[in-house]
Amino acid sequence: MTQPLISEDYRAMQQKLHENPNYGVASLEFAPLVADVMVKLKLAEVLDYGAGKGRLGQELRRLLPVAPQWSAEPAPRDLVTCIDVLEHIEPELLDNVLDHLAALTRRFGLFTVHTGPAVKVLADGRNAHLIQQDERWWLPRFLQRFGLISFNRTQMGFWILVEKPRS
């Protein structure tokens, strides 16, 4: 049996938030970086994990001659991105989600984390960023599963480029 990645109540709250056209747009900001990584590492496929509206794929189609993978049932890819998703994960399910990311990452992962509060609030009154922790809290969780290639601070958090450890 696969481990749960999201509770049904929280899924319903997220679906409601995604009705807002301004929710789930952070991937557009990171699309040039993803395109650059794909070119430099000579990657032709990407899985945008937690893609929401699939905006990263739309932007990459404009920036690159590539058709990024997007599906409700993700499959392993050479590059897995996870942009503005992890801070929204239910804390008790974070290890399951990180394990799932590791299982889907064949070679590289590019993950962003916003470390502070979100502007948006959930229907139950909680901040939309369920996990508000700095890189000292996040990095050990990534390093249990990946090798670190690059760590970069942003105004609101950080992004990392990681690789699948060789067996």
**Could you tell me the residue ranges of all domains in the chain?**
8-163
Average pLDDT over residues 31-55: 90
Q: Cα separations (Å) of 50 from 92, 154, 166?
A: 17, 20, 25
Q: Which residue has the higher pLDDT, 31 or 167?
A: 31
Residues 6+ apart with CB under 8 A from 38: 44, 46, 60, 64, 66, 79
Confidence check: pLDDT of 74 > 70: yes
Average pLDDT over residues 23-36: 88
Residue 156, pLDDT score: 95
Residue 55, pLDDT score: 85
Confidence check: pLDDT of 79 > 90: yes
Is the pTM higher than 0.95?
A: no
Query: How many beta carbons lie within 10 A of that of residue 112, not counting itself?
Result: 23
Specify whether the CB–CB gap between 117 and 132 falls below 8 A.
yes
Q: Which CATH class name applies to 8-163?
A: alpha beta
Residues 6+ apart with CB under 8 A from 94: 86, 131, 141
